[in-house]
Amino acid sequence: MVYWHLFRKSFACNMQYRLSHLINNAASAIFGFVYIAIWTGVLTGKEQKSPYSILDMTYYMGASQCILWMTVFLTAGLGIQLGVRNGAISIELARPVSYYFYVVSQEAGRIAYNALFRSLPIGLIFSMTVGFYVPSHWTTFGYSLLSLLLAIGISLNIFYLIGISSCWTTEISWAHFIILTLMFSLGGQMVPLTFLPEFLSQLAKWLPFAGVVYYPVLIFLEKADHSVLLLQAGWLLVLFFANHWITAAARQKVEIQGG
Amino acid sequence: MKLKLYIKLVSASIRSRMQYKMNFVFSMVSYGIVMMIDFLMLAAILNRFNEVKGWNLYEVGILYGISSVSLSLYRTVAPEIHEFEKYMIEGEFDSLLIRPVSPLVLLLSKNLDLSRIGGALQGMIIIALSLYHVSHTHSITLLLIYLPVILVCGWVISFSLALVTATIAFWTQRIKDFQTFTLYAPFYAANYPMNIYPGWLKFIFFTVIPVAFINYVPMLFLLNKSGNIYYLLLPVLVALLFFYLALAFWNFGIRFYHSTGT
């Protein structure tokens, strides 16, 4: 199957940069330690005012640093804008395979690589230093995996949406920058959504960004109801169909930039 | 002579950038907004818990603003230092070595990233708002007088750290991963008071990556937390020392440059 082949090739391609990525893992862990120190400073003496204890926040930060590499740090626009700029997209769209799955399967290969060579080592660093949460029910592992897969699906679709929009805008670097910021802030990476001001907190819980970091982490920490999986699945479907519709529109729009 | 040349080269670069006015305005505004959201997250935490180890929202706001302005000013002035690895990977550094001006001056004059000014403006707004609130409880006259010195020192320290990181590229070619260690993580950490960090992190931020001197040390004295007037001298001394060391390291590293041969 062609998509499985693309997935494996993309995985193998990333293997070439293992060493440099391992250095970067240490940097990710440093960020995690800084976040943990901030929350320890903030919560010391005030744990009774917070729904989460210092230990909860330590686990939260550890888990969110791991998941970032599978759901947030994806390739900008999944690289679609590069093809738009140099005209290669006209050939890619003409291929007898689905353009959507052609792009997404390559990124999925990279995510699989990140899971093994980034998320896992970062998790190990935390478990050897500040500790890493171990769910008390074995079913939590299943739910966490499902939530993680949904999170990856949502994220792939958001990045695809930004990428395919380049058919109209050509330039996506600022859109990418803004979407990353939204994923960090409204995704609950540094500040769990319950700590945001009431209005923003209520709003953010319904947005797709929460499904990218916040919900998978909470499910793993056994602090969220399983119904949030439905919200994640809903967003995944909406984004999936939106992308198919936009890809069809892009097919009509493609023009050769007279090279 | 060098300054005259620098100004001439920089103004040429600004004129070329201004050909794309809309893109410039849009990128500056979105950069400012993105950094503002960053601050709102910090404000959300402190709004809920009042303070972090004795520092309230407005005091932390001053720390955040100074760290943000310092980093943004460096990113405005030295984008080519920040992106230095491309000179190594694509072998472009050769062309800088054969000119009759020092490669560092050429790199600095090649480009200005004016869109980063949005970040500096945002930082200044946060400093101003925080100072307004702090002025209800403290006298801020000395702080206002000394603020320009603090900002210049912060800028010099961030530039020096970036230059040291860029120099590493003479051996490793790639520096993106190192920048997370030497710039992104420390500057993020410097948004908060240093007394919240564990000993080993504090040690790093007071010595090898001295971001503590950008804002925390002078503010300890200026916000009547602790220390004495000599705390105001420390940022200047650290900035000068680090700038000197960074230049020396750059001049040492440049001897190890070898072209990619492409």
Q: Work out the burial of residue A159: count CB atoms within 10 Å of its CB; fewer than 13 is exposed, 13-18 middle, 19 or more buried.
A: buried
Q: Which of A42, A173, A190 to mutate against chain B (most B CBs within 10 Å)?
A: A42
Contacts of B66 (CB under 8 A, 6+ apart): B123, B127, B150, B151, B154, B214, B215, B219
- Which mean pLDDT values do the consecutive 10-residue runs of chain A (259 residues) have? 84 76 81 90 84 91 93 90 84 85 91 91 91 89 95 96 87 84 89 89 93 95 91 96 92 65
CB A63 within 8 A of CB B214: no
Q: A258 lies in a domain?
A: no
Mean pLDDT of the B156-168 span: 93
- Please tell me if residue A44 touches chain B, with a CB cutoff of 8 Å: yes
Q: Are A191 and B41 in contact (CB < 8 Å)?
A: yes
Chain A residues closer than 8 Å to B33 by CB: 178
Q: pLDDT band at B127, cuts 50/70/90?
A: very high
Residues 6+ apart with CB under 8 A from A120: A66
User: Residue B48 has what DSSP assignment?
Assistant: H
Q: Are A41 and A50 contacting, i.e. CB atoms less than 8 angstroms apart?
A: no
* Per-residue model confidence as pLDDT tens digits over B188-243: 999 999 999 988 889 999 999 999 999 999 999 999 888 888 899 999 999 999 99
Are B192 and A41 within 8 A, CB to CB?
A: yes
State the residue range of the domain holding B118: 2-256
Q: Which of B37, B49, B52 sits opposite A181 (nearest CB)?
A: B37
Task: State both tokens at B55.
Answer: 């520092």
Angle between helices B141-172 and B57-77 (to 10 degrees): 50
Nearest to B156, CA basis, from B216, B84, B87, B77: B77
Task: State how far the Cα of A242 lies from the Cα of A252, in Å rounded to an integer.
Answer: 16
A89 C-beta neighbours (distance < 10 Å), count:
22
Structure tokens at B231: 């705390």
| Interchain contact B15–A (C-beta under 8 A) | no
Asked if residue B261 belongs to a domain, the reply is: no
What is the pLDDT, as a whole number, of residue A259? 45
Examine residue A259 and state whether it is found in any structural domain, yes or no: no
Distance CA B261, CA B239 (A): 37
Which residues 150-189 of chain A have a CB within 8 Å of chain B? Answer: 171, 174, 177-178, 181-182, 185
Residue ranges of B 42-101 with Cβ closer than 8 A to chain A: 44-49, 52-53
Residue B131 lies in a domain: yes
* Alpha carbon of B53: minimum distance to chain A alpha carbons (Å): 6
| B215 is a domain residue | yes
CB atoms A42 and B52 under 8 Å: yes
**Chain A residues 189-228 with CB within 8 Å of chain B:** 190-191, 195-197, 200
Alpha carbons A74 and A239: distance in angstroms, whole number = 17
| Residue A33 distance to chain B (closest CA, Å) | 9
Half-sphere exposure of B262 (CA within 13 A, CB side): 8
Average pLDDT of chain B, as a whole number: 86
Say if A41 is an interface residue toward chain B (CB within 8 Å): yes
Number of separate domains in chain A: 1
Angle between helices A54-71 and A139-164 (to 10 degrees): 50
CB B79 within 8 A of CB B113: yes
Segment B82-107 shows an average pLDDT of: 82
Structure token pair of residue A145: 């995996």
Per the domain annotation, does B57 fall within a domain? yes
Q: Chain B residue closest to A42 (CA)?
A: B52
pLDDT for the residue B8: 80
What's the domain count of chain B?
1
Q: Are the C-beta atoms of A76 and A69 separated by less than 8 Å?
A: no
| CA distance, residue B145 to nearest chain A CA (Å) | 30
The predicted pLDDT at position B37 comes to 81
Give per-residue pLDDT as tens, B18-72. 766 776 777 777 777 777 787 888 888 888 888 888 898 999 999 999 999 999 9
Residue B204: its pLDDT value, please? 92
Pairwise CB contact (< 8 Å): A49 & B188? no
Burial-class residue B158 by CB neighbours within 10 Å (0-12, 13-18, 19+): buried
Which ipTM was obtained for this model? 0.82
Share of chain B above pLDDT 70, in %: 95
Quick one: pLDDT at residue A218? 94
